[in-house]
């Protein structure tokens, strides 16, 4: 197994040392790890917090690579998409090479649903609808990513900020826009990420939910990446044992791993 969504101290919200993360991956029996530190330009509230020091990051990863020949280490990035940043992101990726790019939506109209004010004055479904519309707009304007990160990230924080009742997502209300997003991924041969960071947030399913993953499969989607989104060594490969059997049952037979932006399908 590979864990293809991992953070280190080069992310504004992690203190984890690269070496400690790798030791944890080795202990869990992973065959490969793709690190994906945050780049979120124009992050609200704390501007600059998620501006990645990509040269320092690359240096640390290159050192880790030579020091750990027994496990495959790859250097990816998780880019926080916002429509006005599309051109800047394209230029950046042309200049700085990565093995793997996760496109994630953390900010909607200047607000991160992580913070309670995103949901102020509205219920979960209203906040979710805006998030999915924004996601659709983002991926159309910027599609130079390999996998779409935690598609229903917003629900994770809706549940936390509004509780289980107010924060429950009514799938039928969002099905059309979610289908459009999944259709875009399938037509453009992008992967859908299965993110198990949800389990650390008291959820019983990954992000996105099994319902969305099943819909993707039914629509013909085949390509999935799997990542724990660990920001600490103890969370590496979290929940994989729960998710992998479910994915197999749904008909997925491989996990996508990217090396120099080229897809490799590893047996699941």
Q: Which residues in this chain contact Zn ion in the complex, by CB under 5 A?
A: 78, 104, 229
226 beta partners: 194
- Before 208, cis peptide (omega within 30)? yes
Q: Is 84 exposed, middle or buried (0-12, 13-18, 19+ CB in 10 A)?
A: exposed
Least distance from Zn ion to the Cβ atom of residue 102, Å: 7
Q: Using the minimum distance from each CB to Zn ion, give the nearer residue, 106 or 174.
A: 106
Least distance from Zn ion to the Cβ atom of residue 78, Å: 5
Q: Using the minimum distance from each CB to Zn ion, give the nearer residue, 101 or 166.
A: 101
Q: What Rg value do the Cα atoms of the chain yield, rounded?
A: 17
Q: Which residues contact 238 (CB under 8 A, 6 or more apart)?
A: 196, 197, 199, 200, 228, 230
Least distance from Zn ion to the Cβ atom of residue 69, Å: 26
Consecutive H or E run containing 158? helix 153-166
Least distance from Zn ion to the Cβ atom of residue 229, Å: 4
Least distance from Zn ion to the Cβ atom of residue 4, Å: 11
DSSP state of 200: G
Q: Using the minimum distance from each CB to Zn ion, give the nearer residue, 196 or 255.
A: 196
Q: Using the minimum distance from each CB to Zn ion, give the nearer residue, 200 or 222.
A: 200
Q: Using the minimum distance from each CB to Zn ion, give the nearer residue, 229 or 238.
A: 229
What is the distance between the alpha carbons of residues 82 and 93, in angstroms, rounded to a whole number?
15
């Amino acid at each position: 197994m590979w864990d293809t969504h991992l953070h280190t101290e080069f992310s504004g919200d992690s203190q984890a040392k690269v070496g400690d993360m790798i030791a944890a991956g080795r202990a869990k029996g992973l065959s490969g790890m793709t690190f994906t530190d945050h780049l979120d330009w124009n992050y609200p509230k704390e501007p600059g917090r998620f501006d990645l020091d990509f040269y320092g990051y690359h240096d640390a990863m290159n050192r880790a690579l030579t020091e750990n020949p027994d496990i495959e280490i790859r250097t990816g990035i998780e880019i926080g998409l916002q429509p006005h940043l599309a051109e800047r992101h394209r230029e950046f990726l042309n200049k700085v090479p990565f093995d793997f790019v996760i496109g994630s939506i953390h900010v909607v109209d200047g607000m991160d649903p992580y913070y309670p004010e995103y949901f102020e004055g509205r219920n979960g479904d209203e906040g979710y609808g805006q998030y999915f519309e924004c996601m659709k707009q983002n991926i159309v304007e910027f599609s130079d990513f390999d996998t779409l990160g935690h598609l229903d990230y917003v629900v994770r924080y809706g549940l936390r900020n509004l509780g289980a009742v107010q924060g429950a997502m009514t799938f039928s209300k969002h099905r059309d826009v979610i289908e459009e997003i999944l259709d875009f991924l399938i037509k453009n041969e992008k992967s859908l990420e299965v993110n198990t960071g949800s389990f650390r947030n008291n959820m019983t399913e990954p992000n996105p939910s099994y319902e969305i993953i099943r819909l993707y499969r039914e629509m013909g989607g085949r390509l999935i990446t799997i990542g724990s989104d660990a920001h600490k060594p103890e969370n590496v490969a979290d929940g994989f044992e729960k998710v992998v059997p479910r994915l197999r049952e749904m008909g997925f037979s491989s996990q996508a791993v990217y090396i120099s932006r080229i897809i490799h399908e590893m047996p699941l």
